[in-house]
Amino acid sequence: MQTEIRPATDKDLKDLDAFIEEHRYSKSADYFIRQYEEQTSEGNRVLLIARGEGQLLGYCVLNWQPKYAFFKAHDIPEIQDLNVHKDFRKQGIATFMIQDCEKRAIEKGLKTMGISFGLTPSYGAAQKLYFKLGYRPDGHGATYDRKVVVHGDIRPIDDDLCLMLIKDLQTP
């Protein structure tokens, strides 16, 4: 399938809202509007969409200013909220979106990319894919809401409990 990855425009916001409603992802009503505004006003992030055969196949956010302290201190952008439509999974679309983000980081002269996954079984496909693509743990253990969890901490097991990963980018 021919797939196009590009920054979202205001015309894509309706499709993005329908996408998360169809998949029953819990996002605030203005989630994509906020992501788009961050993209257009300050350039702190890029809301990327994957389109093919005239429909939205997936999306992700490339955050140039992530709140995770290790990434922030080392100028590491983070790929966030990567989702592919359930009918188009296992067709290389997530890989294509990740590679597009990596290319954008290389074009900015950055040497490392960050990404994370949740620690529940629902993130199993992402866990396998990110390792396959060369991402490895950053060495700081689990995080909760992008803050390192230390021994003895008690945190809920939900989407905010993550393992942060990094990848060294090869410059051409």
pTM of the shown model: 0.91
Which of 16, 102, 89 lies closest to 62 in space, CA to CA? Answer: 102
pLDDT per residue as tens, the chain (172 positions)? 688 999 998 898 888 888 877 766 666 668 888 888 888 887 899 999 999 988 999 999 999 999 999 999 999 999 999 999 988 899 999 999 999 999 999 999 999 999 999 999 989 999 999 999 999 999 999 999 999 999 999 999 998 999 999 999 975 5
What's the CATH number where 79 sits?
A: 3.40.630.30
Q: Are 16 and 56 in contact (CB under 8 A)?
A: yes
The residue range of the domain holding 96 is 4-168
Count of the separate structural domains present in the chain: 1
Query: What number of residues does the chain have?
Result: 172
The Cα 130–Cα 27 span in angstroms is 23
CA distances from 123 to 5, 46, 130, 141, 143 (A): 23, 23, 11, 17, 15
The Cα 31–Cα 62 span in angstroms is 15
C-alpha torsion sign, points 118, 123, 129, 132: positive
